[in-house]
Amino acid sequence: MTIKTLLPTSSFAGLTGNPWSAKADKIQSATGLLLGCFLLAHLHFESSILLGKDAFYQVVQILEGGMFSESGHGFPLVTKIFSVFILLVVILHAAVALRRFPAQLGQWRALRRHMNGINHKDSHAWFWQLVTGFILFFLAPVHIFTMITNPEIGPHLSAERVYLDNAWLLYALLLPAVVIHAMIGLYRVAIKWGFTANRTGLRKVIKFMIIYLITIGVLSLVSYLFIGAELTTPVQPYVPN
């Protein structure tokens, strides 16, 4: 006698699982890992403004392929193309992640009862990833679309966007949400796929990274505000002496 004879067909199908669900898990983990690594690089590249305008200018030229131009000036088209790629990855990541999003009021109530009744750190982490993911669903595309439509970046041009165009309002909300979401996501990927079994140690690392990344992000944002306050219109791109 097999399990198929003990259970009805519908039960057996639910027990064995849906093959698409396993594929979606892999896609979600892969895209999440890619976006998390991108965020780590992005915030560190952005924080080069803390070393001065010249440092940030040189970083931008390197990332935009300035070494391949006769003038040494990078190609903003590189930023545009890469932004389109990141947007596509974000859309794919969100599409497969939405299947786990509580869509009904009863599901939210059940989640709340679970959170109150069971003091499980990973469940609380998943909840905050859920909340930040909902926030990013609205904020992240705005930032990426801005980089697609206006890919010019640099000490003055970025400061113009932050200060004169009031983009700091968006970034002030986007920064903590994306850092928390990404770091918890990397934690869950590491645990889910067996990269480590030391949950306690990894949680400490993730908490440190959240504080560290938000700190350098806030300091970078403040630097752009100071630079933007000194700009005069029309804003001219920064050129090193």
Residue ranges for the known binding site for heme b are: 42, 93, 143, 181
* Closest to 120 in 3D by CA, of 13, 212, 203, 217: 203
Residue 241 half-sphere exposure, CB side, CA atoms within 13 Å?
2
Q: Is residue 50 within 8 Å of 219, Cβ to Cβ?
A: yes
Instruction: Give CA–CA dist 160/60, Å, rounded.
Output: 16
Greatest pairwise CA separation for the chain in angstroms: 83
Q: Which of 152, 150, 130 is nearest to 142 (CA)?
A: 150
Which residues are annotated as part of the binding site?
42, 93, 143, 181
Q: In Å, how far from its chain's centre is CA 215?
A: 16
CB of 144 closer than 8 Å to CB of 81: no
- What's phi and psi for 69, nearest 5 deg? -110, 150
Helix axis angle for 121-149 and 105-117, nearest 10°, is 130
